[in-house]
Amino acid sequence: MNSESAKSRLPLWVGPALFLLTTGVVVLLGLLAFSITERRWETQRPAIAIQPIAEWEPDNAAWGANYPREYERYLLTRDDTTRTMFGGSFPRDYLEDDPRQVLLFAGYPFSKEYRQARGHYHSVTDVTQTKRISAKNMSSCWTCKSTDVPKRMAEMGVAEFYATPFSEFVGKITHPIGCQDCHDPKTMNLRITRPALREAFAAMGKDIDQATHQEMRSLVCAQCHVEYYFKDGSYVTLPWAGGLGVEQIIAYYDALSFTDWTHAISKTSIIKSQHPDYELYSAGIHAYGGVACADCHMPYRTEGGVKFTDHHVQSPLLNIANSCAVCHRWGEEEIRSRVEAIQTKVANAKLAAEDVLVRAHFDIAAAMQAGATDEELAAARKLVRHAQYRWDFVSSHNGVGFHAPQECTRILGDSAREAQEARLLVARLLAAKGISAEPKYPDLSTRDRAVEVKNAFESGQPTNLL
Ligand code: HEC
Ligand code: HEC
Ligand code: HEC
Ligand code: HEC
């Protein structure tokens, strides 16, 4: 029997009947799929109707009424008890752990208080309580701390906002970092609310509105987790016109002869670096692979069959399964130990650079005590200025080098080399003045000792080093 004869034997109604049956099944399957997505949608949406959110709504709870899952997770950034080997959200005291930093910041408020960042929930409390803020500060310091900021800027103008004394808004700016900083209330799309990042892109000849969705998942963070300075005393500016690398940023500051303070020990004009997290991340392998800040710090989370973005922004080491294991097939302990090994190397390179830098400051002070002039010390001071900025670029960045291990060790190596070169210059200078003995370096083994020495230099009665 061939197929031709088999076909010809089927009754005429079979064709149309099969067609109807198939159509029926397809329609039923379609309805089922629709009902499933519908249900999923319903569970994703809160039972309550979505309330419209005002354009600059600063209150996280108001947004939370519409998006309870994201809000509940966001509220967990209040927890300040978590610890990892180098990070976590407890207010680790850097000066207590590492007294060298008291000396490195001599003459500047960071030598009085310097603690590890806590979660976003605490941003307003922390900025109003730190000893680093004084009557001299402008509202520029509010910029990265509150959802109230974009509203104030819209009302009074950006430059006017920055130039208002900080104290004027104490008690008026109250809402910590939150929904409004990253989201458009109408669409919930990610958006840029801080002008400095937009302006920095423009200065590089780029349009931030052309950024891809994946880039936005890092750029929302880059609104705050970047290096900046106050142009003309208060205008928040990112020094990126020449590029994001540490060399380009140093060249940018040098061209402006920019200085944050004169070092109390060596009288060097120092530039303070502020957490260049986005800049260093950009130099790392994950940025190269298109992995965004949010991929690791805001991974997806599933609750009751619903997948959403975890708004508990924190150390990814506290959530390795969701943050890393989605891409890496290594076990959790293996991942943790790889991260800690990277961080330990960077931390050691950092301490090594600090040891040379601290000595370089004292060497210059010793040369001053031996009568060296500013002119004679100019070259050494310039080296120390650059060495300290390089060290601080890595030191002030969060994550202890994980975001770009090779770049961080490279920068720290350059820092130590420059500080060493400065020490050589000073040693020759001292030798020319007939002094061949090493300066008498003070004991800096505890924070209290370091503070005593720092105070002596700050009050103009420096410890005798010769
Ligand atoms: C590949 C994953 C990954 C990416 C991408 C990433 N980070 Fe991290 N981040 C980490 C890890 C791991 C640490 C170290 C955490 C620790 O030491 O506990 C860290 C630490 C931090 C910390 C300090 C947290 C703490 O508890 O000490 C901050 C702040 C931070 N990252 C911000 C950013 C920003 C901003 C971006 C994007 C510009 C970014 N990270 C991109 C993995 C990542
Ligand atoms: C630091 C920036 C940031 C803050 C603050 C923030 N979000 Fe998000 N949010 C994100 C990112 C990143 C995504 C992922 C967006 C994407 O990839 O499309 C997201 C996604 C969302 C989504 C889409 C659904 C989902 O979970 O993926 C909702 C809804 C949302 N956020 C609500 C909120 C609410 C409510 C708050 C305040 C309690 C808030 N967000 C605060 C960055 C932020
Ligand atoms: C509006 C400014 C702002 C934005 C936007 C922002 N941050 Fe932060 N972030 C801060 C400040 C300020 C702190 C320190 C808060 C404190 O110590 O009181 C901080 C702290 C952190 C910490 C430390 C928390 C901990 O528990 O260790 C991490 C991690 C972090 N941010 C990651 C991110 C990531 C990732 C994004 C983008 C998805 C982001 N931040 C967006 C300003 C911001
Ligand atoms: C979205 C995917 C993705 C996520 C999430 C991710 N990584 Fe990666 N990771 C990569 C890619 C891509 C590379 C580049 C090397 C490669 O292709 O394997 C990489 C490389 C690495 C390396 C090797 C670094 C080097 O210098 O060679 C380490 C270590 C690492 N990741 C750790 C982590 C940790 C820890 C986390 C979580 C905090 C994490 N990754 C999250 C994609 C990811």
CA of 156 to the centre of ligand 3 (A): 26
**Nearest CA, atom 2, ligand 2:** 182
* Pairwise CA distance, residues 435 & 427, whole Å: 9
Q: How many angstroms separate the CA atoms of 380 and 363, rounded? A: 10
Residues 363, 427 contacting (CB under 8 angstroms)? yes
Closest CA to ligand 3's atom 1: 144
402 lines ligand 1 (CB under 6 A): yes
Ligand 4 pocket check for 327: Cβ under 6 Å: yes
In this structure, of 8-22, 107-121, 219-233, 376-390, the range with the lowest mean pLDDT score is: 8-22
Q: Is 403 in the pocket of ligand 1 (CB under 6 A)?
A: yes
**Ligand positioned closest to the Cα atom of 290:** 4
Cα–Cα separations (whole angstroms), residue 290 to 212, 216, 227, 295: 11, 11, 22, 10
Supply angle C-alpha 196, 198, 204, rounded to 5. 100
Q: Over range 189-193, report the average pLDDT.
A: 97
Mean pLDDT of the chain: 92
Ligand 2 closest atom vs CA 313: 1
Centroid of chain to Cα 203: 21
Q: What distances in angstroms separate CA 207 from CA 25, 182, 192, 203, one per listed residue?
A: 50, 18, 12, 9
Query: Which residues make Cβ contacts (< 8 Å) with residue 63, sequence separation at least 6?
Result: 53, 57, 71, 178, 179, 180, 183, 185
Q: With the C-alpha atoms ordered 269, 275, 279, 280, is the resulting torsion angle positive or negative?
A: positive
Span 395-447, pLDDT tens digits: 999 999 999 999 999 999 999 999 999 999 999 999 999 999 999 999 999 99
Q: What is the pLDDT of residue 40?
A: 47
Tens of pLDDT, residues 46-105: 445 688 999 999 999 999 999 999 999 999 999 999 999 999 999 999 999 999 999 999
| Nearest ligand to the CA atom of 145 | 3
The pLDDT tens digits of the residues spanning 295-349 come to 999 999 999 999 999 999 999 999 999 999 999 999 999 999 999 999 999 999 9
Token pair recorded at residue 42: 């319903």
b or e along 31-44 (b: 16 or more beta carbons within 10 Å of the residue's beta carbon)? eeeeeeeeeeeeee
| Gap between the Cα atoms of 181 and 314, Å rounded | 17
Ligand 4 center from residue 218 Cα (angstroms): 16
Interatomic CA distance for residues 78 and 89, integer angstroms: 9
CB-ligand 4 contact for 338 (6 Å cutoff)? yes
| Residue 234 predicted with pLDDT over 60 | yes
The answer, yes or no, to whether any atom of ligand 4 lies below 6 A from the CB of 339, is yes
Mean per-residue pLDDT, 246-274: 98
d(CA 229, CA 253): 10
How far apart are alpha carbons 36 and 25 in whole angstroms? 16
CB distance 122 to ligand 3 below 6 Å: yes
Going from the Cα of 298 to the center of ligand 2, the distance in angstroms, rounded, reads 9
221-227 average pLDDT score: 98
pLDDT interval class at 130 (50, 70, 90): confident
Q: Is the CB of 216 under 6 A from ligand 3?
A: no
C-alpha torsion angle, residues 151, 153, 155, 156 (rounded to 10) = 150
Per-residue model confidence (pLDDT) at position 18: 67
A 10 A CB-CB count for 351 gives 12
Nearest ligand, CA 87: 1
Token match 């104030």: residue?
A: 152
Whether 101 and 357 have beta carbons less than 8 Å apart is answered as: no
pLDDT in tens, 6-45: 445 666 766 666 667 777 666 666 555 554 444 444 445 5
Q: Whose CA is nearest to atom 3 of ligand 1?
A: 296
Verify whether ligand 4 is closer than 6 Å to residue 395 (CB atom). no
Q: Which residue has the tokens 């990042």?
A: 197
Question: In testing the pocket of ligand 4, which one of 324, 339, 345, 400 has its CB within 8 Å of the most ligand atoms?
Answer: 324
What is the position in ligand 2's atom list of the atom closest to the CA of 63?
35
Nearest CA to 123 out of 67, 86, 74 is that of: 74
The answer for residues whose C-beta is within 8 angstroms of residue 188's C-beta and 6 or more apart is 67
Calpha distance 426→148 (Å, rounded): 50
Single-letter amino acid, residue 255: A
The alpha carbon of 96 and the centre of ligand 4 are apart by a number of angstroms equal to: 33
Is the beta carbon of 339 within 6 A of some atom in ligand 1? Answer: yes
